[in-house]
């Protein structure tokens, strides 16, 4: 049995904040504004898993007005949602994600993100795809004002259940 989910996430880019994507800190003069660590890629994947489970969205499970989630490590939120999927009898089949960011270029960091995400999701790294695109100078991404991530996740019934 299969279930598919879609997720996306946008964060404003500001000075003096770390740029964290897929749990990897990317050297940059600016980073994501946000209540948590602002990891747009991990938030998009987390939302996609919740979507596949028909379990609402990340804001329902981790409200951003709760002090508990201030500067939260988004990988921990992702791990909790993967655990929720497991409770429902599902595991990750595969993930495909795209990060839209004008600069810096992410190519050299993509494999580290895939490794980290795979570890957190108990998945094979070969099942976790992360792609990077720029905004071609257009819109909020192109102006360097925002980072946007999109993700699609396919869940399959766990072998163990």
**Contact positions with Zn ion (CB under 5 A) in 78-117:** none
Q: How far is the CB of 11 from Zn ion (least distance, A)?
A: 5
Residues ≥6 apart with Cβ < 8 Å to 65: none
Q: How far is the CB of 121 from Zn ion (least distance, A)?
A: 17
Contact 34, 27 (CB under 8 A): no
Tell me if 31 contacts Zn ion by CB under 5 A: no
Q: Which is nearer to Zn ion, 137 or 149 (CB)?
A: 149
Residue nearest to Zn ion (CB): 43
Tell me if 9 contacts Zn ion by CB under 5 A: yes
Give the H/E segment covering residue 102: none
Q: How far is the CB of 120 from Zn ion (least distance, A)?
A: 16
Give the span between the Cα atoms of 29 and 20, in whole angstroms.
12
Strands (E), the chain: 2-15, 19-21, 24-26, 30-32, 90-100, 128-133, 146-157
**Contact positions with Zn ion (CB under 5 A) in 39-68:** 43
Tell me if 37 contacts Zn ion by CB under 5 A: no
Write out the residues near Zn ion by the rule CB under 5 A.
Answer: 9, 43
């Amino acid at each position: 049995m299969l279930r598919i989910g879609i997720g996306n996430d946008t964060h404003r880019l500001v000075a003096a904040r770390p740029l964290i994507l897929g749990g990897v800190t990317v050297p940059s003069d600016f980073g994501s504004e946000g209540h948590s660590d602002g990891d747009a890629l991990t938030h998009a994947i987390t939302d996609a898993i919740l979507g596949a489970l028909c379990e609402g969205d990340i804001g329902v499970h981790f409200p951003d007005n709760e002090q508990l989630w201030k500067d939260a490590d988004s990988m921990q939120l992702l791990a909790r949602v993967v655990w929720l999927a497991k409770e429902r009898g599902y595991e990750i089949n595969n993930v495909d994600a795209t990060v839209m960011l004008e600069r810096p270029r992410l190519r050299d960091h993509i494999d580290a993100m895939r490794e980290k995400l795979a570890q957190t999701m108990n998945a094979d790294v070969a099942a976790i795809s992360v792609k990077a695109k720029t905004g071609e100078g257009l819109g909020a991404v192109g102006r360097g004002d925002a980072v946007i991530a999109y993700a699609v996740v396919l869940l399959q019934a766990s072998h163990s259940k």
